[in-house]
Amino acid sequence: MHSLFISDLHLAAERPQITAQFQAFTTDIAPQAAALYVLGDLFEYWAGDDDNDALGMQTAAALASLAARGTRVFLMQGNRDVLMAGAFAARCGATLLDDPLLADLHGTPTLLTHGDALCTGDADYQRFRAYARDPGNQARFLAQPLAARREQMLGMRAQSEASKQQKSETIMDVTPAAVDELLRRHGYPRLIHGHTHRPARHIHQLDGHDCERWVLNDWYQRGGYLRVDAEGCAAILL
């Protein structure tokens, strides 16, 4: 029995080859797994669950048929798709997860998170994150017509790309102290996250514990996933 983890697909109409790779993944690879976890940023942006554009519908259909074949599907919001909510999860036959979530994964306590909350060196981003996750702000945003929301999302996306150019590599990575604090708070579990687009296996030596931290790959150039079973984790590129 095994589970699969993916994140940061950033599915977008402009990158049809990644959408195709994801669709093939859901029919050829994921059905053998007991569970598929999508740890955020499935979409490049998400204007609300009432957005019924073709990409969202195709993606939901692919996940729903995977779920119908017996693989449990779990979705976590990322920073790009923080508005992905229960209605979309239901369309996918999926369960929406809290961030962070401590899970027993084939016998090993494992903390799952998108990862952006760990980038505490980027104060501007953390301010924006708090704003974007505020229920009142979300309700006000969602009250606008879909076309206006889409337009604002595209504007924010352009702004975020521009501001990333000016930030140092260190600021855009996780802050080691934030990782330590999270691991300590949850009893020194294994940690799996995405967001930074720096796939790796790290070991955090902390208070006499060796905590494994797996960072998932993004899907900008090619897809990939983390396979987890009772023996451990393996990162596999498509």
In the chain the first and final C-alpha atoms are separated, in Å, by 21
The answer to whether the beta carbons of residues 62 and 30 sit under 8 Å apart is no
CA–CA gap between residue 39 and residue 199 (Å, rounded): 14
H and E: helices and strands count for the chain: 7, 11
Window of 54-62, 84-92, 188-196, 211-219 that interacts with Mn ion by CB under 5 A: 188-196
How many amino acids of this chain bind Mn ion (CB under 5 A)?
4
Q: According to CB under 5 A, which one of 41, 49, 99, 173 is a site residue for Mn ion?
A: 41
Q: Which is nearer to Mn ion, 132 or 142 (CB)?
A: 132
Q: Which is nearer to Mn ion, 41 or 122 (CB)?
A: 41
Quick check: helix, strand or coil at residue 104?
Answer: strand
Residue with the shortest CB distance to Mn ion: 195
Is 195 one of the binding residues for Mn ion (CB under 5 A)? yes
Buried b (16+ CB within 10 A) or exposed e, 213-224: bbbbbbbeeebb
Is 79 one of the binding residues for Mn ion (CB under 5 A)? yes
Is 78 one of the binding residues for Mn ion (CB under 5 A)? yes
Is 10 one of the binding residues for Mn ion (CB under 5 A)? no
Kindly state the DSSP code that residue 15 receives in the 8-state scheme: -
Q: Which is nearer to Mn ion, 155 or 232 (CB)?
A: 155
Is 113 one of the binding residues for Mn ion (CB under 5 A)? no
Tokens of 74: 């779990």
Binding site for Mn ion (CB under 5 A): 41, 78-79, 195
